[in-house]
Amino acid sequence: MSQHSFESEELDGYIKIDKYNTEKVDRIASHYTDILESLGEDPKREGLLKTPERVAKALQFLTHGYDIDAAEVLRGAMFEEDYSQMVVVKDIEVYSLCEHHMLPFFGKAHIAYIPNGHIVGLSKIPRVVDIFARRLQVQERLTNEIRDCIQETLGARGVAVVMECKHMCMAMRGVQKQNSVTTTSAFTGAFQNDVTRSEFLRLITADLA
Ligand SMILES: Nc1nc2c(ncn2[C@@H]2O[C@H](COP(=O)(O)OP(=O)(O)OP(=O)(O)O)[C@@H](O)[C@H]2O)c(=O)[nH]1
Ligand SMILES: [Zn+2]
């Protein structure tokens, strides 16, 4: 178990309220009592009494991806199948925290792979996204980590990842641009070919559903 570990072994990709690491909750909460005081707040007023503990639990949830092995999640639902066309899962919601300000960035991920003998349970693709997103991240590394995990675990003929996110550190503070969206992409194998990549880009922009 890593230093980030929760007490529960049965995470199923999500943390339940009774499964927080209580020692870590207490430690983080005590810092937040100090932070509230430093902000000129009164941590003893009614509305703030439980805030340090709430924040500690929220932060553990928002970083619980450190405790889950994404490759193992994929391996849990890999099936031999003679299908060699592109599989695309698009519009996957993403919520992450930027590692510079620990403020949210959020948006969508669009993912495709071309099987090479094995397909994977569809739900596992968004699960992999969450496992890497629920950490302190930059969008570029998040994009690459998702690509590499799917590529290496499935041995796919190619993997494509496109992410479009809004960064609250650019909206609520700093440069204060409310409408800017950052797009990142990462490709392997067959997606390095212009025709295949264009088909993927067409599929994620098409309104098919
Ligand atoms: N490349 C990249 N940069 C990010 C991401 N999230 C936040 N940042 C940027 O990280 C940078 C940190 O820059 P600094 O100059 O050290 O921090 P800062 O003074 O708070 O910068 P400002 O946000 O410009 O006020 C900022 O430009 C952020 O916009 C991300 O996912 N990828
Ligand atoms: Zn930031």
ipTM score for this prediction: 0.92
Give the span between the Cα atoms of 66 and 55, in whole angstroms.
18
Can you say how many angstroms the Cα of residue 43 is from the centroid of all Cα atoms in its chain?
A: 32
Give CA separation, 178 vs 47, 170, 173, in Å: 30, 7, 10
Find out whether 149 is annotated in a ligand binding site: no
Q: Which ligand is nearest to the CA of 165?
A: 1
Sequence-distant (≥ 6) Cβ neighbours of residue 32 within 8 angstroms = 51, 52, 55, 56
Give residue 140's pLDDT.
98
Nearest to 101 by CA among 167, 52, 39, 53: 167
Give the span between the Cα atoms of 142 and 149, in whole angstroms.
11
Fold for domain 72-205? GTP Cyclohydrolase I, domain 2 (3.30.1130)
Q: Is the CB of 170 under 6 A from ligand 1?
A: yes
Q: Which CATH number fits domain 22-64: 1.10.286.10, 2.40.50.140, 3.30.450.20, 3.30.1050.10?
A: 1.10.286.10
In the reported structure, the alpha carbon of residue 7 is separated from the centroid of ligand 1 by a whole-number distance in angstroms of 33
Q: Is the pLDDT of residue 2 over 50?
A: no
Catalytic residue among 53, 139, 145, 151: 139
- Helix boundaries (H) for 80-191: 124-133, 139-154, 168-171
Q: Is 23 a catalytic residue?
A: no
Give the span between the Cα atoms of 24 and 2, in whole angstroms.
13
Task: Name the residue ranges covered by the structural domains of the chain.
Answer: 22-64, 72-205
Model pLDDT for residues 26-73, shown as the tens digit of each residue: 999 999 999 999 999 999 999 999 999 999 999 999 999 998 999 999
Q: pTM of the prediction? A: 0.92
| Residue 79 host element (H or E) | strand 78-80
Under the banding of pLDDT at 50, 70 and 90, the label for residue 1 is very low
Q: Is the CB of 109 under 6 A from ligand 1?
A: no
Please, are residues 186 and 144 in contact by the beta-carbon 8 Å criterion? Answer: yes
Find out whether 101 is annotated in a ligand binding site: yes
| Residue 108 host element (H or E) | strand 104-114
Give residue 64's pLDDT.
94
Give the span between the Cα atoms of 123 and 126, in whole angstroms.
6
Mean pLDDT across 65-86: 96
Sequence-distant (≥ 6) Cβ neighbours of residue 8 within 8 angstroms = 15, 16, 19
Model pLDDT for residues 133-146, shown as the tens digit of each residue: 999 999 999 999 99
